[in-house]
Amino acid sequence: MRKKIVAGNWKMNKTPKEAVALAEMLKPKVATDNSQVIFCVPYVDLIPVAEVLKGTNILLGAENLHFEDKGAYTGEISAPMLKEIGVKCVVIGHSERREYFAETDETVNKKVVKALEYGLLPIMCCGESLAEREDGITIEKIRIQIKKGMKGLSKDDAKKVVVAYEPIWAIGTGRVATTEQAQEVCHAIRVVLGELFGEDTAQEISILYGGSVSAANAAELFKMEDIDGGLVGGASLKEDFEVIAKA
């Protein structure tokens, strides 16, 4: 059985005080034994939110990390820093980071490797733009992102990666992929994972869908065979996240 995962991606929202209030509000609502709930929060919110989550089975996640352990990288945060404060998980290669912060499949790969080295669960994002979908190259694009992002991983390491499929045109737009579109690409991801790491390994890797997941559409999406949960932006900042986590 693959793990069912619902991860909230808070993005650049919530000051530390606001983050504590949101985590306190959501904590009792999203407590579930059927799935793994994760809060991925801004760096400055990590320490106070870690306090709030103590004693729960909700995991704390960061939204990025650097691929070196330390050094002259002004403004960056490393895996050992995250590890020390109790972070368990990290979003890597979100399309906003690729678009605005020049992340590439190569840096994504280095970050995945670094996260695994420190025992952090990487949620590696992939997804096509609207133009790529319209040009009919969605699957090619995704296959390249998976192959490059997971380059050099052993089967054992590959099993420790969570893949998030997030069509860029669906992020923050309210325009969710249809369940068929989402399933088609998540299935294609499992196929390429099988080619890379073997069918058994591919069956063990959780694949999430992200992009305008809401209380209204989560259950339908998560029912699909190759969709093992969601990476949720806007709706993770409100009570709706309860419905999504329960779905």
Q: Determine whether 195 is an active site residue.
A: no
* Buried b or exposed e, range 23-43, using 16+ CB within 10 angstroms: beebbeebeeeebbbbbbbbe
**What single DSSP character describes residue 164?**
E
Q: Determine whether 94 is an active site residue.
A: yes
List beta partners, residue 72.
none
**Binding of residue 172 to ligand PGA (CB under 6 A):** yes
Site string for ligand PGA, 129-168 (x = CB under 6 A): -------------------------------------x--
Shortest reach from residue 92's CB to ligand PGA, in Å: 12
| Residues in 189-218 that interact with ligand PGA by CB under 6 A | 210-213
For residue 122, CA distances in Å to 113, 175, 218, 223 come to: 9, 26, 22, 23
**Binding of residue 232 to ligand PGA (CB under 6 A):** yes
Q: Is 32 helix (H, G, I), strand (E, B) or coil?
A: coil
Please give the angle made by the CA atoms of 41, 4 and 51, to the nearest 5 degrees.
35
Shortest reach from residue 72's CB to ligand PGA, in Å: 30
**Binding of residue 233 to ligand PGA (CB under 6 A):** yes
Chain contacts with ligand PGA (rule: CB under 6 A): 9, 166, 171-172, 210-213, 231-235
